[in-house]
Amino acid sequence: MTREELMARGVNCLIENLGYIEAGEFLSQVAAEGDGFSDYTEWRRENLYKGMTDEEILAGAIEYAKTHHLE
């Protein structure tokens, strides 16, 4: 597993268990400056969704909501 894959899985785990707001707060508390991960929103945009169209991201979000009963 690459660093990017590991980080994506970790962020997704945090979001699933804490929610977006608390996951963001947690990451802001533990992220070190200059490590490329201190802004998790930007990191997700540049790494997790890299090469995906807006439509693909939206379709993934809809599927996630359905499979996690968030409809």
Q: Which amino acid is at 45?
A: R
Evaluate if residue 15 carries a pLDDT over 80: yes
Give the mean model confidence (pLDDT) for residues 5-31.
85
pLDDT at 6: 86
How many residues are there in the chain? 71
Torsion of CA 53, 40, 18, 56, to 10 degrees: 0
Beta strands in 1-71 (DSSP E): none
Contacts of 11 (CB under 8 A, 6+ apart): 23, 27, 40, 44, 48
- Note the pLDDT tens digit of each residue in 19-42: 888 888 787 777 766 556 667 677
| Average pLDDT across the chain, whole number | 79
CB of 15 closer than 8 Å to CB of 9:
no
pLDDT at 71: 54
pLDDT at 17: 92
Domain ranges of the chain: 3-67
